[in-house]
A and B are shown apart, each in its own frame.
Chain A
Amino acid sequence: MNKEIKINTISWLTLVALIVVSFFIAETHQTHLFLIISLLSAIKFATISFQFMEVKHAHLVWKFISILFIITYLSVIFLIS
């Protein structure tokens, strides 16, 4: 199997696990739910952009923009919450 497809499979399984974990964490209604779920979303976003969209092979600027977006997202989430 192609090495990248193997990494895709690992990434996909990780995403599935994170999505399921997010669902069960949300059911617990715990105090820091907002921050935990947002952090998990940021990890999912990074996995999709870097692996599925191959940003990891792109120029540094595109990697920087992807990370900048995630930081902006998390920063505002933390400020609002």
Chain B
Amino acid sequence: MTETTITDKKSIYYPPGGILIWFLILLEIFTFLGGIFAFLLYRKDALEEFKQAQALLNPLVGTINTLVLITSGYFMANSIHQLKDGKNLQSKKSTQIAMLLGILFLIIKSVEFYGKISSGIGFTHNTFFTFYWLMTGFHYVHVLFGVGLLAYMQKAISNEKYNAKNMFDVESSATYWHLCDLIWILIFPILYLL
């Protein structure tokens, strides 16, 4: 499978990870893009309200969480190349690290969510927090699903179900995992920094 996968990647029908996952990626990032644009339009009309609401978020925690997720993506990207090189053990370890960092991201995010809920800042608190809960909530669900995928993949790599000649599912999972990076890279600055 891999021998053909490498050359097939130049085909329009075989982007890295497969065309189905790329349709999902396009659907997802353009949906989130729509959300971002709606957020920015509402923000323009109520700048002060949005800035006051944003002050209730901790940009340092958001930045640390971004670093955690990006580092996770880095290990997952390495895992693919290690598997291609036949280094299953290293690939499994990289996938495990990626998964653990994904869990760390979810823990930090859960603590933030808990803090907001405890302070009475819910979905209907104001327009800023309606967007905050929608965007970070959907992203959270994506990461949660991704962690499940990585958990399965690291186990399957360990059991030699996937190897240098059969790694399409691992590539698709890695592509999905990077989708979580992409979405976060877009929503993090508008919610926490701007």
Contacts and interface: CB of A to CB of B under 8 A. Distances in A.
> A and B, one complex?
yes
Interface of A: 2, 4-5, 8-9, 11-12, 15-16, 19-20, 22-23, 26-27, 33-34, 37-38, 40-41, 44-45, 48-49, 51-55, 57-59, 61-62, 65, 69, 72-73, 76-77, 80-81
Contacts of B29: 69
Nearest to A16: B67
Nearest to B39: A80
18 contacts: A5-B81, A8-B81, A9-B74, A19-B66, A23-B60, A23-B193, A26-B192, A33-B194, A37-B189, A45-B186, A48-B181, A54-B9, A58-B15, A59-B10, A59-B11, A76-B40, A80-B40, A81-B40
A20 B29 CA distance: 24
A53 B11 CA distance: 16
Contact of A41 (B16, B77, B185): B185
A11 to B, nearest CB: 8
Would you call the interface of chain A mostly helix, strand, loop, or mixed?
helix
B186 A41 contact: yes
A56 to B, nearest CB: 9
Given A8-B81, A26-B193, A48 B178 contact: yes
Interface in B124-178: 175, 178
Interface string B59-84: 11001001100110110111011100
Contact of A65 (B26, B44, B76, B181): B26
